[in-house]
Structure 1
């Protein structure tokens, strides 16, 4: 990835965790920092290392949860897995898994101190649960055809 010139930048900030999903809205916003796939992976690795060292666990876990959420179909960074080999936005059902987002949101919840932090984690976890419900519902309808 370090030598590749074909990877562009994300259209939205993959670390944002919004109340309402609207990747088109986020893509239209001004991006102060534009992240490449490689930069994203490097930052994610650093955050994982910080959590392992018990440094700023809440903020690192929350941002990692947001990132893992955003690279699913529901987030603003789904281009993470899109490309010439596996297509663009067509196979959505296999890209809806919020396992890692849920994992890190639960870590953030365990490290949360204030009621506001806890509420944010619960809301983001609920978004993952809602998306899992819809993904399963529509995957069944999609695969019956």
Structure 2
């Protein structure tokens, strides 16, 4: 499923969500409008390192960030492996990989729009520069 959030396109694997595509879209639209900070969706996490990282990302509160290293420590994994899992996240926005940053506050972002999209999402969640959207 392709969605647009605040000007950027994201591809989501809707088969990993228990609810209908219409419900998934509705909740994403509420997020994009600033009306939702958390998703109420059943996510089928893979039974793998990717699933572990997705669960950890899902625990990062709206408007906050964690570093790849912090998640790696929590998961007893390497920071590079965490970064690779973030890049493979099949449910961007819903599982907020944009909230994972490098130690320098940056980090990559595999969705269309790249790091600029990540910065826009974080600024949006923090209430910074909303007039630009």
Please say whether Structure 1 and Structure 2 have the same fold, judged by a TM-score greater than 0.5. Answer: no
Larger Rg: 1
* TM-score normalised by length of structure 1: 0.27
Q: Relative to total residues, which structure has the larger strand share, 1 or 2?
A: 2
Structure with greater proportional helix content:
1
TM-score (norm 2): 0.29
